[in-house]
Structure 1
Amino acid sequence: MFIDLQQNNIESTNQSIDRNEGILKPVITDALNNTIKLLKTRDSAFFQAHLTTSHCPFFRESGRIMETHLERLKKVPLPIRELQRGLVELQRAYLHVHVALDYYWKVVDSVNTTDLLVPKPLSLDDRKMGAFVYMDADAQLLFTAGYPVYYVCDQREFGCQIIREVVELVMPVPPLVVTEPSQPAYSVICTSQARSDKKFSAI
């Protein structure tokens, strides 16, 4: 799937060689097709388990993108630059589906939602990439699955933030939790301030 497309990967007809155009060699398109078939096997299993999910259109659209670009790479003579662009779009759709399926199989389906309200001992997997989340439900889901979780303000840019240290998350229980009134006291948080910067600064 992930190849650095070069001129020797292209074959041309008598008509297209004068225009410096060509198509991908069958050995490459066959390898791409086999890889896509393996992904579609997982894809079909996902549809059987999540027939009502709102993400099914995403998988169908990504599958259509892969099929369309593969057909163009096999049959339509194009300059190498256009072939490279088509291959990149195919790879992008492949990666999107692959990552989404990994998320569903390894996170959503592996975590029993009935256990989300039950505190569990932390078991972080250092090989897993942390996630920036805002909603508590998402944080709890990823936390239960063993992912590092970083909270950010809703719709706030965090591109300039630098994670200097990763620490284990623990269930806060006395005496770890300070139950005395703060000095100075926190400002009152109104319901209308939900998800506001003032609320976060108060917290």
Structure 2
Amino acid sequence: MKFRYLAGLLAALAVGPALADATATVEEIYSGYGDNQVLTGHKVTVTITPNAADVGRPGAYYIGVMRNGNDLAFYQNGTWFPPSTDGKSNVYQPAEFFQAVPGGSRSYVVLNNQLICSLVGPGNNAVVYAGYGVLTPQYEYLVQNYHATANPKVPADHIRNTYVRMDMNNSKKYWNVLNWNCPSDNGGGS
């Protein structure tokens, strides 16, 4: 009995737990030749990896940028959008929504040949966050049953997004993937 338990534990440790993570890489893009090269942009790639336990569940990946500690924009479909300002909600749209969160890592090129500081302006600090959340069976049940009756005018996808973000926030499945200080003396170009 102890041997089977120990063998199962060792097998689980050998495979290792799949830990969630998010990272960013920055490549500098230059134009010109030799000593006359000038920084013209950055290529920023954000990579998100979910926990193995969350793979296959409905969920979403989120990527956002803050300026000096305040939400500024969220990445979706190749574009940066401001948070909702309808006065009713502060729902951020996901970079991508999944009927089943895929296994492995997924990468997004969030800037391509654009200066990072062009997002936040000169003299500001850019902080990029990335994360993900999933919809638990209990919340999907609420979306399908309770909210369909209690809130028929609110789209089900809006409610799902709210619960998925709640999972991301409550479970701390988000990471600071990039910090960038934008100097005020060079027009924010670096």
TM surpasses 0.5: no
Which TM-score applies when normalising by structure 1?
0.22
User: Which structure has the larger Rg over C-alpha atoms?
Assistant: 1
Which TM-score applies when normalising by structure 2?
0.24
More helix by share: 1
